Amino acid sequence: MPIISTLQGHAAVLTLDFADNHNALSTALVTQMLSALQNLDPKARAIVVAAQGRFFSAGANIHDLKQGGWLSGSANPEDPVALFEALACHRLPVIAAVTGPALGGGFELCLSCDLLVAADTAWFALPEVGLGVVPNTAMARLTSIVGRRRALEAMMTRRRIPAAEALALGLANQIVPVGEVVAAAIALAHRITDEAPPGALAAVKSGVDRHLRTDWTEVRASVGRLPEAEWHEGLGAFVDKRKPDYDRFWKVAGGAAEGS
């Protein structure tokens, strides 16, 4: 089962358990995660999103990204964006417990949670542009956390952001040893919920979201504007384990610029 759902005190712990595929956000994982969110134990007051294995999540499943219509720009209930929106808009506080690398959609999964506890060995990266695609949820949510220039740098350079820098940037709330991450996230959940009522917590979360509103329709539409030939080359090169050839696209772009 890609998702393990348990109740730890008043925290619903939803654990990605697809370590053989680095917890890639496949159609099956997204569907089961959404089902777990809809069927939480009624005693749950907060949600902790954790993961088994070396990776928190290596991002979108490339096969599903290519074949599942995720790049069409239309709404798809099996698209990771559906999961990101469900987490971001959930009435309960959502805490990411990041024990390993969070890449691409895995990073965006983190951005869709309200708070984040990370291992001191964790790191974050947005490699999408190098594959000819875009981190559409990160485009909507990262800037409000780190600022425009740092967000653009992360997306354009695709570099790794280590845990200590993530804390300094405000991406993470706490950094702890890897073996203490889930326990620290559960403790944070209880610190939030044990002496506060649900309505006030939900109002704080929804109020902040209104001020920093994520346009989920635009998040979905943005991928539909990508040049199809570019992402076919980028994703195809990734599957074929070869270096992508983007020079031909730069020649076309350069020619258009010179003629404009």
**Tell me: the pLDDT tens digits for 62-111?**
777 666 566 666 667 788 999 999 999 999 999 999 999 999 999 999 99
Instruction: Tell me the pLDDT band of 244, cut-offs 50, 70 and 90.
Output: very high
pLDDT of residue 257: 45
Q: Is 108 designated active site?
A: yes
Indicate if 258 belongs to the active site: no
Q: Of all residues in the chain, what percent carry a pLDDT higher than 70?
A: 92
Residue among 78, 85, 128, 233 flagged as catalytic: 128
Please give the full DSSP string across the chain, using - where no structure is assigned: --EEEEEETTEEEEEE--GGGTT-B-HHHHHHHHHHHHT--TT--EEEEEE-SS-SB--B-HHHHHHSSTTSSS--TTSHHHHHHHHHT-SS-EEEEE-S-EETHHHHHHHTSSEEEEETT-EEE--GGGGT---HHHHHHTHHHH-HHHHHHHHHH---EEHHHHHHHTS-SEEE-GGGHHHHHHHHHHHHHTTS-HHHHHHHHHHHHHHT---HHHHHHHHTTS-HHHHHHHHHHHHHTS----HHHHHHHHHHHHH-
Domains and CATH numbers, the chain: 3-211 (3.90.226.10), 227-259 (no CATH)
- Enter the pTM of the model: 0.92
Averaged pLDDT of the chain = 92
- Identify the active-site residue in 85, 108, 153, 230: 108
